[in-house]
Chains A and B, each alone.
Chain A
C-alpha cells in the first residue's frame, strides 16, 4: 500500500507527440473511458425476462 502511494507522490511521466502532451494517469483515464464505451457497445447483454402477463395494461 505504501509503495503505491509513494509512487503516486512523484511527478508523472508525460508522453509527447508533437504538440500533444498527456500524462500517463490522464492517458489511462482516457483509455479506460474509451474502453468502457466500446465494451458497453459490444459485450453481450443478459437476456431479459418476459413480463408476467401479455395484457397491454400490464406493461408500463
Chain B
C-alpha cells in the first residue's frame, strides 16, 4: 500500500489509534455557560444600537425643498422609483448582465405607481385646503397626456441648471397646471406629520408592507444624507457598518469590498465603466455567487484544496499528537 493510500484509508475508517478521555456533554454545557455569561456582560455594559426611524415629517421639516422637488418628480415620472422597473413598474428595464435580465424577467410583483401611490392617494385621503382640493379635482379630471405635460414641464423647469437649478422659488411662470399646488399640499401634510400615518395605510386599518414608504423616502436626499452621515453608503464600506459606536457585519467584508472599486463607482456616461456602475448590483452579486460556490465546493477544487498541505498550519494544530507518537 502506498503512503497516500494508507493515509486515505486511515481518513475514511474509524480511528483505532490512541484516544483520550472526553465528555461531549460537559464540553457543551461549559460552552453554553461561557457564551451566556459573555453575552450578558456585553449586553449589560455596551447595550445595542437603535437609531430611531426617519419620518416624512422629519424629511419635510429638515429638507422642505428636497421634499417638494421629489414630489414633483414623482408626478412627472422622473424619480428613481418611477423609473426603477420590476418588481414595481414598467418605468425601466432594471439591471442587466450581458443578455441576462432577471430583474425584468421576474415581472411586476409589487406594483407601485409613484404619482398616485405617493402623491394623489395620500392627498385624497384627507380633507385638503380649498386650493389643494381644487388642484386635485383638476388633476384627476385631466387626461394622462395633460398631466404628463404639466408635471414634466414643471419638473424640467425646477431642475434646469441654467435656470432655477433646484430652487422652486426661482422657477419662471409656465403651464404647470395644478402641480405646484399638489406639491405644496403634500409638503404641508408631511410637515404636520399627517403623511406618515396615512402613507402606511391610506384608507385602511392594517398594513405591514412598507415598500411604498421606503421607495418614496429613498427618492429624496433626506434618507441619503442620513446614510452618508452614518457611513452606510455602498462605497463607504456601508455593508459592513452599523449605526452608532457598534461593530457591524465584519463577515460581509468580502462582499462589501467590491462596492469600493472605482469601476463600480464610475462617473462615466458611456462605456464599460458606465455599464458596470449602472448594473453594479447584478455584477457584484454574480461575483459573490461564484466565490461562495468556490468555497462551498472547495473539497473538489484542485489547487485550492491543497493549500492546507502546502502551507502546513496543521503542524501547529497537531503538535501535541506528533510529540506523543514520536
- Chain A interfacial positions (CB closer than 8 Å to B): 1, 4-5, 7-12, 14, 19, 21-26, 28-30, 33, 41-42, 45, 47-52, 56, 59-60
* A25 and B247 contact, CB distance less than 8 A: yes
Do B16 and A26 touch across chains, with their CB atoms under 8 A apart? no
Report the Cα distance A21→B260, complex, angstroms. Answer: 10
Chain A residues near B242 (CB, 8 Å)? 23, 25-26
CA distance A34 to B133 in the complex (A): 63
A49-B313 Cα distance, complex, nearest whole Å: 25
The DSSP consensus for interface residues of chain A is mixed
In the assembled complex, the CB of A19 is this many whole angstroms from the nearest CB of chain B, namely 5
- Chain A residue, CB-CB nearest to B47: A5
Other A-B pairs, 13, CB within 8 Å; known A12-B244, A21-B236, A28-B247? A8-B244, A8-B245, A10-B244, A11-B245, A19-B260, A22-B240, A23-B248, A25-B248, A26-B242, A29-B247, A45-B320, A51-B19, A56-B16
Residues of B within 8 A of A (CB): 15-16, 19-22, 44-47, 49, 230-231, 236-237, 240-242, 244-248, 250, 253, 260, 313, 316-317, 320
Residue among B49, B241, B260, B313 facing the most chain A CB atoms (10 A cut-off): B241
25 chain-A/chain-B pairs, Cβ below 8 angstroms: A5-B46, A5-B47, A7-B245, A8-B47, A9-B244, A10-B244, A12-B245, A19-B260, A21-B236, A21-B237, A23-B241, A23-B247, A24-B245, A26-B240, A26-B247, A29-B247, A30-B250, A33-B250, A41-B317, A42-B316, A48-B22, A49-B20, A51-B21, A52-B21, A59-B16
Q: Check if B246 sits within 8 Å of A8, measured CB to CB.
A: yes
CB neighbours (8 Å) of A19 from chain B are 260
Q: Is the CB of B236 within 8 A of A11?
A: no
Query: Could you say which of A22, A24, A42, A60 has the most chain B C-beta atoms within 10 Å of its C-beta?
Result: A22
The contact of B45 among A1, A10, A28, by CB within 8 Å, is A1
The residues of B that contact A11 with a CB separation of less than 8 Å are: 230, 244-245
Give the distance in Å from the alpha carbon of A13 to the alpha carbon of B247 in the complex.
Answer: 12
Interface pair A48/B245, CB less than 8 Å apart: no
Cα-based distance from A60 to B247 in the complex (angstroms)? 42
Q: Which residues of B contact A30 (CB under 8 A)?
A: 250, 253
Q: How far is the CB of B190 from chain A (nearest CB, A)?
A: 27
Taking a contact as CB atoms under 8 Å apart, the answer to whether A50 and B20 are in contact is: yes
Q: Are B236 and A25 touching (Cβ within 8 A)?
A: no
Minimum distance in angstroms from A38 CB to a CB of chain B: 10
Q: In the complex, what residues of B have CB within 8 A of residue A47's CB?
A: 320
A11 to chain B, nearest CB (A): 7
Residues of chain A contacted by B316 (CB below 8 angstroms)? 41-42
Name the residue on A nearest B21 (C-beta). Answer: A49
Is B231 touching A21 in the complex (CB atoms < 8 A)?
A: yes
Most buried by A among B15, B49, B248: B248
Query: Which residue, of B236, B246, B247, B316, has the highest number of chain A Cβ atoms within 10 A?
Result: B247
A59 in contact with B241 (CB, 8 Å): no
Q: How far is the CA of A14 from the CA of B230 in the complex (A)?
A: 10
B20 with A51: CB separation less than 8 A: yes
Most central of B21, B230, B245 by chain A CB within 10 Å: B245
Chain A residue, CB-CB nearest to B44: A1
